[in-house]
Amino acid sequence: MSKKLLLGIVVVLLITNIATLLFVGDGNDSEVVSDGEGEKEINRNEAVATVADEEISYDEWMTDLRNMQGQKYLKQMIDKEVVNTLAEQEGIEVSEKIIDREVSFLYTMQGILTEEDAAVEEERWREEIKYRYQLEQLLTRDIEIPEDEIKSYYDTYGNQYDFSSSVKLSHILVEDMETAEQVYQELEDGASFKLLAREYSIDDETRQNGGYMGAIYTSSQFLLDSYETQAANMENHTYSEPFQAENGVAIMYLHRKLPAIEFTYEEVQPYVHSEIAMHEEGLTLEADQLWEEVDIEWIYENK
């Protein structure tokens, strides 16, 4: 994986994993707050925290947030609107295949996500990835790079754009089928896979992590044949029946299948052009220089 791609993925992870506050006002005394882990209802007339009998009010909290972060986050919102507007005017689109590739990389770098959390995170990732690529192409649209230079770069580094088939797995490994059947019945009765792994699994490397094995390339020697066979017939976010594995009896949880994604030169040519241009011109991935192309008025204009 290229340093640029890795950096882009890390940036998206940072953006989407910071606990952000999304307020949905309805004119009532309460608001729904999303902290990245779920939604909570907050009464604006009640204290949001109490420290040694001293209350912090909702209004004090909001005032501090605006004072400390208001300009920063408003600028980010404007940046996105600027890029979206100009990309639409210029007809700059990002292929779903490119976005799928980066989403797959992000999944390999994330830990365990519930099905609901994965859906929310993926939607955010896709928005950030699309924004980043559109911004990159807007910044480099007028920079000429010889076609032979682009082709040469692709011939050398083209495989960095591909994604190898992977699976994200957890497992509970036990010594015999009798124990495995007992664990399976507890799963069927609604018990937590993670807690059962900690209780029953004999795999010391994964037991304390709830059996989580991480993302494994399907071509890797670390993916046992029996596990690959099981995964091929499973749906995301489901667990298997007990099966005989190479090192015991296992029950496997498939968090996600990540199929291989491969590109032709024509499919990645615009993105290779942007990558080379960004590097050669020493450009930073910031939308500030695009602001002059769009009429913008904002409350911090003179600051």
Q: Which residue has the higher pLDDT, 91 or 55?
A: 91
pLDDT at residue 234 in the model: 97
The predicted model gives 104-131 an average pLDDT of 95
pLDDT at 127 over 80: yes
pTM: 0.78
Out of 49-63, 92-106, 159-173, 253-267, pick the least confident. 49-63
Q: How confident is the model at residue 107 (pLDDT cuts 50, 70, 90)?
A: very high
pLDDT at residue 70 in the model: 82
At 151-199, the pLDDT tens digits run: 999 999 999 999 999 999 999 999 999 999 999 999 999 999 999 999 9
Q: Are 82 and 131 in contact (CB under 8 A)?
A: no
pLDDT at 102 over 70: yes
The predicted model gives 275-300 an average pLDDT of 92
Domains present along the chain, CATH in parentheses: 54-158+267-303 (no CATH), 166-258 (3.10.50.40)
Q: Are 201 and 172 in contact (CB under 8 A)?
A: yes
In DSSP terms, 40 is beta-bridged to 33
Q: Residue 195 to residues 139, 198, 199, 250, 254: CA-CA distances in angstroms? A: 49, 5, 6, 15, 16
The b-or-e profile of 35-44 (16+ CB within 10 A means b, else e) is eeeeeeebeb
pLDDT at 9 over 70: no
Q: Which residue has the higher pLDDT, 32 or 137?
A: 137
The b-or-e profile of 75-108 (16+ CB within 10 A means b, else e) is eeebbbebbeebbeeeebebeeebbbbbbbbbbb
Q: How confident is the model at residue 20 (pLDDT cuts 50, 70, 90)?
A: very low
pLDDT at residue 258 in the model: 98
The predicted model gives 104-113 an average pLDDT of 94
Residue 28 has phi, psi (to 5 degrees) of -95, -175
Q: How confident is the model at residue 12 (pLDDT cuts 50, 70, 90)?
A: very low
- Cα 276 from Cα 146, distance rounded (Å): 10
Q: Which of helix, strand or coil describes residue 26? A: coil
pLDDT at 40 over 80: no
Q: How confident is the model at residue 23 (pLDDT cuts 50, 70, 90)?
A: very low
pLDDT at 28 over 70: no
Q: Are 271 and 160 in contact (CB under 8 A)?
A: no
